[in-house]
A and B are shown apart, each in its own frame.
Chain A
């Protein structure tokens, strides 16, 4: 594989950049692999990469129904953070933060990681108390957290509404300075290119039609491009988890819902932090191109549509304008939607299943993108060693029947129903 460097850039300039290697190949599926990963999104690509890199398992195929990076890894709002209160979430996410910090060097691909900081705004004394508690928990787990008062927030984001007559005045906020954003497509492409270079087959336009299971063991997968044998199969299909679970006669604590995002027309730099509204569900950052990147609530009813409806978008942007009134002057450039695997307690599942050799990675709700490296790393460990790693031991599937929910927000089951 050609290394991406300034020297290679200059060298290839002399031949009009006609001689670059393909970033990844387009192989036809083999009859058998050691491991098959279903889903060529961020998590699937990262899993294959860490299987090869950390566990020297390179006879691996990634099967993708569409094209790699065409699902949620290309549809998210690129936010990376580890501002969680519960140990399981905090330690997992902070492990991921360390992978993010060195990802560009690790993958030899500029993922444009930008640790610009995230601020969760508080709009009441009670909310400030909750944030103080969460900030303290984060710091106990070695994660940076700063509690800001109203004036400190005003220093950082003066464009927010600090006038006297607002419905939800800003009391302060909780900031994680090391949080930030990254270029989401680059993450998919960087993992794909490195995985491919270590021998992983990336098989696109290949839809799973069924599974071969006998005597409680997985033997292979049936696809639109033929049957593929494998002793170990990992599911990383986010919003399509329920569709594949049905083919395996499994019913999971997951519902598939639609989440929208949108960007405004590009404007000059105005916002150098990720900011979330504390009196509703709205988040915003500014991309390197100058677009304001925004998102918020689910559409609210089960959906596989991958496109949203206007009432939710209107509701979300009303919150945005309440927080930062200047947004009302901007034109909308683009809106889109992705389908989320909403777990019943808001936390993910990375675990073995009752079928030997079948591994499950799902339930990422709103937070799949930031988890990409940690999810791939722990899922690769779970598949390679056939046992969960300490980092994903809290993300087990049986916590729903035993009652050990990982309920970060303390909202109970079906957290998206309003």
Chain B
């Protein structure tokens, strides 16, 4: 069982969250010409790192906010959590 520290609500169990994938992926800017390769990278291609991984979670059974979590994908250790609008440093 993971324990995730929601930046809004504090430490909660994994059961309250749902997963949203890699948080480092950025949608191509609106209104700009987007190449197939850029679109491909946004929709499909993932590094799926082994080790530290910034990812999106939603506190779906709590405050319902999306948050960013830095977690080790091999040990499940959680290092850091941020609000959705905070930039990964």
Q: Which residues of A contact B (CB under 8 A)?
A: 242-243, 246, 251-256, 300-305, 309-311, 344, 400-401, 413-414, 417-418
A254–B20 touching, CB < 8 Å: no
| Chain A residues whose C-beta falls within 8 Å of the C-beta of B71 in the assembled complex | 301
Contacting B55 at CB < 8 Å: which of A301, A401, A414? A301
| Chain B residues whose C-beta falls within 8 Å of the C-beta of A303 in the assembled complex | 73-74, 76
A254–B46 touching, CB < 8 Å: yes
Contacting A311 at CB < 8 Å: which of B15, B46, B48, B50? B15
CB proximity to A under 8 Å, residues B47-63? 47-50, 53, 55
| 27 residue pairs from A and B, CB less than 8 Å apart | A242-B47, A243-B50, A251-B45, A253-B40, A253-B45, A253-B46, A254-B46, A254-B48, A255-B21, A256-B73, A300-B19, A301-B71, A302-B22, A302-B49, A302-B53, A302-B73, A304-B73, A304-B74, A305-B75, A305-B76, A309-B1, A309-B76, A311-B1, A400-B40, A401-B39, A413-B43, A418-B18
Cα-based distance from A338 to B21 in the complex (angstroms): 19
| Chain B residues whose C-beta falls within 8 Å of the C-beta of A252 in the assembled complex | 45-46
**With A302-B55, A311-B15, A417-B19: A251-B46 Cβ-Cβ less than 8 Å:** yes
Cα-based distance from A42 to B50 in the complex (angstroms): 23
Q: Is the interface of B mostly helix, strand, loop or mixed?
A: mixed
Cα-based distance from A253 to B47 in the complex (angstroms): 9
B18–A414 touching, CB < 8 Å: no
A413–B44 touching, CB < 8 Å: yes
Cα-based distance from A311 to B75 in the complex (angstroms): 17
| Chain A residues whose C-beta falls within 8 Å of the C-beta of B36 in the assembled complex | 401
Other than A251-B46, A303-B74, A309-B2, give 16 A-B pairs with Cβ distance below 8 A: A242-B47, A242-B48, A246-B47, A246-B49, A255-B21, A255-B46, A301-B55, A301-B71, A302-B21, A302-B53, A309-B1, A309-B14, A309-B76, A344-B43, A413-B44, A417-B20
Measured CB to CB, the closest approach of chain B to A169, in angstroms, equals 28
Cα-based distance from A242 to B1 in the complex (angstroms): 25
B80 within 8 A of A: no
B37 within 8 A of A: yes
Q: Which of B43, B44, B45, B46: most chain A CB closer than 10 A?
A: B44
Those 3 A-B pairs whose CB atoms lie nearest each other, nearest first: A253-B44, A242-B48, A251-B45
| Chain B residues whose C-beta falls within 8 Å of the C-beta of A418 in the assembled complex | 18
Interface band, chain B? 20 to 34
Q: Is the interface of A mostly helix, strand, loop or mixed?
A: mixed
Q: Which of A252, A305, A309, A401: most chain B CB closer than 10 A?
A: A401
Q: Which of B45, B49, B74, B75: most chain A CB closer than 10 A?
A: B45
| Chain B residues whose C-beta falls within 8 Å of the C-beta of A414 in the assembled complex | 21
Closest-by-CB residue of B relative to A252 is B45
Measured CB to CB, the closest approach of chain B to A308, in angstroms, equals 11
Cα-based distance from A300 to B56 in the complex (angstroms): 12
| Chain B residues whose C-beta falls within 8 Å of the C-beta of A304 in the assembled complex | 50, 73-74
| Chain A residues whose C-beta falls within 8 Å of the C-beta of B46 in the assembled complex | 242, 251-255
| Chain B residues whose C-beta falls within 8 Å of the C-beta of A251 in the assembled complex | 41, 45-47
Interface code B1-28, partner A: CB below 8 Å = 1, 0 otherwise?
A: 1100000000000110011111000000
Cα-based distance from A246 to B44 in the complex (angstroms): 16
Cα-based distance from A414 to B42 in the complex (angstroms): 12
Cα-based distance from A310 to B40 in the complex (angstroms): 34
Cα-based distance from A168 to B1 in the complex (angstroms): 28
Measured CB to CB, the closest approach of chain B to A266, in angstroms, equals 29
B1–A310 touching, CB < 8 Å: yes
Cα-based distance from A300 to B60 in the complex (angstroms): 14
Closest-by-CB residue of B relative to A399 is B44
Q: Which of A252, A303, A344: most chain B CB closer than 10 A?
A: A303
Cα-based distance from A342 to B43 in the complex (angstroms): 14
| Chain A residues whose C-beta falls within 8 Å of the C-beta of B2 in the assembled complex | 309
Cα-based distance from A286 to B44 in the complex (angstroms): 37
Cα-based distance from A253 to B21 in the complex (angstroms): 13
Contacting A401 at CB < 8 Å: which of B18, B20, B40? B40
| Chain B residues whose C-beta falls within 8 Å of the C-beta of A256 in the assembled complex | 48, 50, 73
Cα-based distance from A305 to B50 in the complex (angstroms): 9
Cα-based distance from A253 to B18 in the complex (angstroms): 21
Measured CB to CB, the closest approach of chain B to A254, in angstroms, equals 6
Closest-by-CB residue of B relative to A298 is B19
| Chain B residues whose C-beta falls within 8 Å of the C-beta of A417 in the assembled complex | 19-21
| Chain B residues whose C-beta falls within 8 Å of the C-beta of A301 in the assembled complex | 19, 55, 71
| Chain A residues whose C-beta falls within 8 Å of the C-beta of B44 in the assembled complex | 253, 344, 400-401, 413
